[in-house]
Amino acid sequence: YQRRVRGRQFLEAREWEGVAPLAWYREPGSLPMTLFGLMTKAALRATEYHGVMTREWGMNSTLAGCILFFLPLIGLIVAFIVGVCSVHFALGKAKPAELVGMQRAKPRQPSGGASGGASASGGASSSGGVSGGEEEKKDR
């Protein structure tokens, strides 16, 4: 079914009541249509700038086209990087979910003493690096 508007006849006969409503993405105020309108305006403005650059400034047409393509692209990339950096500095570095609330494990230090100092190989003693006094405290 094509939507054809026949002006006054369409309105006077109230034919608009029989027309099916538009899908949400085709409504004039929806986000896709708003973005489409903004892109259309940008394309028309770029065409005007291209004409000024070639006719009034005497610039090569290809050079003007490259400038009009790459300049906004570079601007968007810089704006994106600045935005990401500002959010990063404002909120801090994100932590993985499994590390939230956890503390780093402290490295074990070889304990000296009568019941088991460090062995010759540099590893922990047979008691797992825990001295006898600490082992007794844990058992209580």
pLDDT interval class at 4 (50, 70, 90): low
Task: Indicate if the pLDDT at residue 25 is higher than 70.
Answer: yes
Query: What's the confidence (pLDDT) of residue 20?
Result: 86
d(CA 59, CA 75): 22
Question: 18-23 contacts: CB < 8 A, separation 24 or more?
Answer: none
d(CA 81, CA 85): 6
Nearest-CA neighbor of 115 among 103, 126, 100, 104?
A: 126
User: Are 116 and 131 spatial neighbours (Cβ–Cβ below 8 Å)?
Assistant: yes
Q: What is the mean pLDDT of residues 4-30?
A: 82
d(CA 48, CA 71): 16
Would you say the C-alpha torsion 45, 51, 54, 60 has a positive or negative sign? positive
Residues 64-122 have pLDDT tens digits of 999 999 999 999 999 999 999 999 888 877 666 666 666 666 667 777 655 554 445 44
Work out the number of other CB atoms within 10 angstroms of the CB of residue 131. Answer: 17
